[in-house]
Amino acid sequence: MSNLVKVAVTGAAGQIGYALLFRLASGEAFGPDTRVALHLLEIPPALKAVEGVVMELNDCAFPLLDNIVITDDANVAFDGVNWALLVGAKPRGKGMERGDLIRENGPIFTTQGKALSKAASDLNVLVVGNPANTNALIAANNADGVPIERFHAMTRLDQNRAYAQLAEKAGVTVNDVSNVTIWGNHSATQYPDAENAKINGKPAYDVIGHHDWLRSEFITTVQKRGAAIIAARGLSSAASAANGAIDHVKSMVNKTPEGHWFSAAVPSDGSYGIAEGIIFSYPVTSDGQGNYSIVQGLSLSDWAKEKIAVTEAELRDERETVADLLK
Ligand code: NAD
Ligand code: LMR
């Protein structure tokens, strides 16, 4: 067993960090033949808590866990890493939108973006900290020498939420659902697309039948799921968010089966008429070697195009709001 993947996780003492690190160390994300080194970045007041998490990681005696670095210096954390999972950022509270965090969390991603220049040449970055799309844009713009295509923001949790809603409505399991796409921003404007989704290979619209539900409650439930969890738990999603990150990594390091895709917010190349450069969630496939392609040619109704225009406009506005943080 000679493969070694170095993975940086920021916000390692946070609630998502706690749900994520053990699954990374177990080998779940990178497979049974790959050892995992963890580079854990935190702010100084949280380093003690990280030490406790590391004690627990060691106490699991994970056979695939290689070594662990703890640091408050992004240059140390990102040195030579193949993956950077950028989780560390403030979560929103009740009554806030994720975009309300933009001026507080955005600056974190300038410093970290710069330090990502120290990473390995095959670096892939997943931004989880909110507002994830625009934080990814900030990091990408500050990371000299790292291709912008390596910066992704997480919409996999939204995709998983959409799968669960469709499966429940159709009375099937999530295994019977496929080809769901989250378009746009990880925010309340995202467009969860059931028009292209399938259930047991048939159009989800035909199987479910309730088109009113598909165009109203389904969409708003997925768009507002994060807020519903905050209202119920008093804290934002953590285990499901960590699960989304694991699923994203797994989808990237394995070749996507023919006819399938997954959702990830990636730099727009103008596909589907979206403004170039914003980090926009699209249907994507992976070649399993760290490269993705945006799925082309999906049909979108005029109604869907209107929804997509709204989420695109929000991301353009967010880009304006952080213009001073972009190089
Ligand atoms: P948390 O408050 O429990 O943990 C955040 C951690 O980040 C803290 O330990 C904090 O010390 C650390 N941190 C802050 N600034 C840092 C910096 N500059 N460098 C390194 N670490 C830093 O929050 P959480 O529940 O783990 O959520 C983290 C972020 O993920 C939030 O912004 C939240 O809104 C977001 N989130 C995104 C999704 C998604 O689907 N994209 C889902 C859930 C949560
Ligand atoms: C989520 O979708 O659960 C996270 O982005 C947390 C939040 O603020 O909703």
Residue whose C-alpha is closest to residue 12's, from 68, 65, 67, 59? 68
Q: What span, in angstroms and rounded, lies between the C-alpha atoms of 21 and 74?
A: 18
State the pLDDT at residue 1.
54
Distance between CA 92 and CA 103 in Å, rounded? 12
Helix locations, the chain, DSSP H? 15-26, 47-59, 74-77, 102-105, 108-115, 132-142, 156-170, 204-208, 211-215, 217-223, 225-233, 239-253, 302-321
Residue-wise pLDDT tens digits, 4-26: 999 999 999 999 999 999 999 99
* Residue of minimum CA distance from atom 20 in ligand 1: 42
16 lines ligand 1 (CB under 6 A): yes
Q: Whose CA is nearest to atom 3 of ligand 2?
A: 226
Which ligand 2 atom sits nearest the alpha carbon of residue 132?
5
**Is residue 42 within 8 Å of 88, Cβ to Cβ?**
yes
State mean pLDDT over 126-154.
98
Ligand 1 center–CA 15 separation, angstroms: 8
Is residue 86 lining ligand 1, measured as CB closer than 6 Å?
no
Topology given in CATH for the domain delimited by 3-153 = Rossmann fold (3.40.50)
- Residue 267, Cβ neighbours under 10 Å: how many? 21
* Number of the ligand closest to the Cα of 238: 1
Mean per-residue pLDDT of the chain: 97
pLDDT tens column, 254-281:
999 999 999 999 999 999 999 999 999 9
| Catalytic residue of the set 186, 210, 211, 248 | 186
- Determine the average pLDDT of the residues in 152-165: 98
Choosing from 42, 98, 112 the residue with most ligand 1 atoms within 8 A of its CB, the one to mutate for a pocket test is 42
Q: Is the CB of 156 under 6 A from ligand 2?
A: no
Whether 39 is a known active-site residue: answer no
Judge whether 246 and 21 are in contact, CB under 8 Å: no
Domain boundaries, the chain: 3-153, 156-321
CATH code, residues 156-321:
3.90.110.10
CA dihedral for 281, 286, 292, 297, sign (positive or negative): negative
pLDDT band at 327 (very low <50, low <70, confident <90, very high): confident
CB 263 within 8 A of CB 42: no
Alpha-carbon torsion, ordered 5, 249, 316, 308, to 10 deg: 160
